[in-house]
Amino acid sequence: MDRPASNILSSPIEYLNGISAIRGDLMRKEIQVFTFRDLLDYFPLRHVDKTRVDQIKQLSPAQEYAQVAGKLMSLELIGQKRARRLVAQLQDATGTIELVWFQGISWVQKMLQPGQSYLVFGRVGFFLGKAQMAHPEIEVFRPELASGKSFLEPIYPSTEKLKAKGLHGRAIGKFTKDLVDRLSPADIPENLPEYILKQYQLVNRFEAYRSIHFPSSDTHYRQAVRRIKFEELFFAQLGIQLLRIDRHRNSRGWMFEKVGDYFNGFYQHHLPFPLTNAQKRVLKEIRADLGSGKQMNRLLQGDVGSGKTMVALLSMLIAADNGFQSVLMAPTEILAQQHFNSIRAYLSDMPVEAALLTGSTSGRDRKKILNDCLEGHTHILIGTHAVIEEKVQFKNLGYAVVDEQHKFGVAQRALLWKKNSLPPHILVMTATPIPRTLALTAYGDLDYSVIDELPPGRKPVQTSHRTEESRPQVMDFIRQQIAEGRQAYIIYPLIEESSKLDYENLMKGYEEVKSFFPEPKYWISMVHGKQPADQKEANMQRFVHGDTQIMVSTTVIEVGVNVPNASVMVIESAEKFGLSQLHQLRGRVGRGADQSYCILLTGNKLGHDARERLKIMVSTNDGFKIAEKDLELRGPGDVEGTRQSGMIQFKLANIVQDKAMLEAARNVVADLLEKDAQLILAEHLPIRQYLLERKDKTRWARIA
Ligand code: ADP
Ligand code: MG
């Protein structure tokens, strides 16, 4: 490559004819276009076929944009001061259309001449049955356009300020045309290997950039879009996967070499049920990590009830087999308590010591627990964030399991790191399904396991949608279930943490529920975010122990609480909840052997998206399907837990619509790195050169 890296594309846009310093400033400010490269990357919104001219008489209100050609019959200034406007009549063989300008009047006035023919493009409106265009784009009509073959003219996104300086959507095309004409293939060198272009039938990069602006046909345009999308997804994947390789290379961790008596003894004699295939597979993935000598950093996803706790326990037993202690951290006291109870029950006949440490552990117990941890008597310490506080010291901590990733931040990580001379292995478990497409882009640098199978014999929760008038019948249904010994949740939305209205709704709801279920025949727990912690805890515990039959609550119970006897989940104002929240809430029931029900109560008036959400909830229990739908409805930017969002912002590619291409890019990158992680093969030279050229711009291009 004899061309210096700072090629023509680094030139400031003022080097193009017609871009003055003032226009240049505006383009930098308004659309962040600084250089030729930026302009090349500024893609048109759409193309207009300049050879297709509409007849004025044929224009109809149904048509959004139109292009007409005709003679300018008149040009008049009308009105005074703020009502001042410039009005022109344009006539073709079939009729006349009115053109109106409210701004930039003197500029337009200077440009247009009555008697001259013009080509006019714009949004058509109708006023008193007459066609009209406000602020159309207009240029002198050249008859050769109408005769030649089709010419697709790019129309670019513009802004009010740009338009005021004559840089409207069509005008920008003059500059891109000038730019594209100046470039040769060497200025836009290929950055994908030949074999990938062949395999995916992609047009070359120069061709793509030229055709995305100035396609010679629709087909050429589509090929250009496809090529550029692929390139975007390919390099995003390459960045993520290189990061991951880099992390693996540099993250020394404890070596858990063997699987010993703790694991084997438990697995052979105390396992209460056979593992599902998904649990087995995930356990294998974790085991491989723990034995690799690198620090594990793995995200474990599994829908509610998929059996993540057992996977956590088994992997903690491997730690114990290798002389290491483990912590299991839960986001709330109740959850920590539940984990402790189930793990202690699983371990009842095993010589494995588990302890529970939370904010409410008494002083005396705390002292003993801290001492046991320090001495190494405790194999597994379960608790809230209390387990990683400074005061808690271990003899040899090697493994940390974190339940629910959202609450586990950088600060907690830092605390964990200090507990031993090497950082412990980390397993983050989450029941919030992350759609695969998002996981591939946003979380692609994390190792990632999925339990995509529920234990056998589960009865899927039956979900229905009811409107408010059916509330009495819903209450009757709850009464029946309670008569059969079951319990029920009734959830009210909490839209804003501090909204008074939400609490008023909750209180009103509580009173109403009470009128349906009077004491002393029925007892009701109520839990919400404004309660003092101990009161909340007490109310939860009463429900957990079956002392109350109904739990009225805001979404505070969303995360993890386990009451297998509860069989009804009623969600009030369900239209106000997001999909993932609805799914999480529904996961509170269906945990026992009995058939469970989820009833979504709403008003009668529902928006399109709300209706879609309810429909999908009624139609499936599959958290991943729901997450995909959520992504589709809300767009990638909004999905909870989206990390490193920069990685999922593409100019053209869309991880929902271009899912198949994303998968392809991911696979192609994985194969490529498997073969040549250093990118030193000759066939990968284009990639390497491209990364080097962009090194200053991308934080992830660490190869050199
Ligand atoms: P989650 O993934 O939501 O944390 P849990 O670990 O709490 O799920 O498991 C949910 C329930 O399923 C528990 O009662 C657990 O004992 C049970 N369970 C887990 N794995 C299996 C299995 N392989 N077969 C049968 N039941 C299982
Ligand atoms: Mg769990």
Question: How confident is the model over 420-461, as pLDDT tens digits?
Answer: 999 999 998 988 777 777 777 766 667 888 898 888 878 889
- Mapped onto helix, strand or coil, the DSSP state of residue 22 is helix
**Atom of ligand 1 lying closest to residue 560 CA:** 3
Residues 242 and 315 both lie in one domain: no
74 or 644: which carries more pLDDT confidence? 74
For the domain that residue 444 is a member of, what is the CATH number?
3.40.50.300
CA of 173 to the centre of ligand 2 (A): 56
Question: How many domains does the chain divide into?
Answer: 4
**Cβ-Cβ contacts under 8 Å for 590 (sequence gap 6 or more):** 305, 458, 459, 460, 461, 596
Whether the predicted model's global pTM rises above the 0.85 cut: no
The residue to mutate among 266, 283, 306, 334, having the most atoms of ligand 1 within 8 angstroms of its beta carbon, is 306
Q: Does residue 8 lie in a domain region?
A: no
- The whole-angstrom separation of Cα 394 and Cα 379 is 10
Residues 417 and 545 both lie in one domain: no
pLDDT of residue 702: 36
Q: Does residue 516 lie in a domain region?
A: yes
- In the 3-class helix/strand/coil scheme, how is 576-596 assigned residue by residue? HCCHHHHHHHHCCCCCCCCCC
Q: Does residue 172 lie in a domain region?
A: no
The residue to mutate among 300, 301, 309, 403, having the most atoms of ligand 1 within 8 angstroms of its beta carbon, is 309
User: Would you give the DSSP letter of residue 296?
Assistant: P
Residue with the nearest Cα to atom 23 of ligand 1?
Answer: 275
Residues 223 and 305 both lie in one domain: no
Residues 558 and 676 both lie in one domain: no
CB 584 less than 6 A from any atom of ligand 1: no
- The whole-angstrom separation of Cα 436 and Cα 655 is 10
pLDDT band at 701 (very low <50, low <70, confident <90, very high): very low
**Atom of ligand 1 lying closest to residue 311 CA:** 6
Residues 499 and 596 both lie in one domain: yes
CB 305 less than 6 A from any atom of ligand 1: yes
CA of 309 to the centre of ligand 1 (A): 7
Q: Does residue 643 lie in a domain region?
A: no
CB 450 less than 6 A from any atom of ligand 1: no
Domain span holding position 227: 213-250+658-703
CA of 382 to the centre of ligand 2 (A): 13
Q: Does residue 161 lie in a domain region?
A: no
**Atom of ligand 1 lying closest to residue 342 CA:** 16
Average pLDDT over residues 354-365: 92
Kindly tell me if the per-residue pLDDT of 497 is higher than 60: no
Last residue of a domain, one of 150, 170, 186: 150
Residues 467 and 616 both lie in one domain: yes
Residues 474 and 340 both lie in one domain: no
**Cβ-Cβ contacts under 8 Å for 194 (sequence gap 6 or more):** 683
pLDDT band at 495 (very low <50, low <70, confident <90, very high): low
Question: How confident is the model over 176-188, as pLDDT tens digits?
Answer: 999 999 999 999 9
The CA-based diameter of the chain, rounded to the nearest angstrom, is 100
Last residue of a domain, one of 620, 635, 650: 620
CB 561 less than 6 A from any atom of ligand 1: no
Burial class, 648, CB count within 10 angstroms (exposed 0-12 / middle 13-18 / buried 19+): buried
Residue with the nearest Cα to atom 10 of ligand 1?
Answer: 305
Q: Does residue 348 lie in a domain region?
A: yes
Residues 335 and 472 both lie in one domain: no
For the domain that residue 102 is a member of, what is the CATH number?
2.40.50.140
Average pLDDT over residues 218-237: 94
CB 309 less than 6 A from any atom of ligand 1: yes
Residues 302 and 235 both lie in one domain: no
Last residue of a domain, one of 620, 645, 680: 620
- The whole-angstrom separation of Cα 343 and Cα 365 is 19
Question: How confident is the model over 157-211, as pLDDT tens digits?
Answer: 988 889 888 888 888 999 999 999 999 999 999 999 999 999 999 999 999 999 9
CB 282 less than 6 A from any atom of ligand 1: no
Residues 229 and 320 both lie in one domain: no
pLDDT band at 635 (very low <50, low <70, confident <90, very high): low
Burial 65-81 (b: 16+ CB within 10 A, else e): ebbbbbbbeebeeeeee
**Cβ-Cβ contacts under 8 Å for 73 (sequence gap 6 or more):** 88, 89, 90, 91, 96, 114
CB 276 less than 6 A from any atom of ligand 1: yes
Q: Does residue 653 lie in a domain region?
A: no
Residues 429 and 346 both lie in one domain: yes
Question: How confident is the model over 267-294, as pLDDT tens digits?
Answer: 999 999 999 999 999 999 999 999 999 9
Residue with the nearest Cα to atom 20 of ligand 1?
Answer: 307
Q: Does residue 165 lie in a domain region?
A: no
CB 430 less than 6 A from any atom of ligand 1: no
Residues 237 and 381 both lie in one domain: no
CB 341 less than 6 A from any atom of ligand 1: no
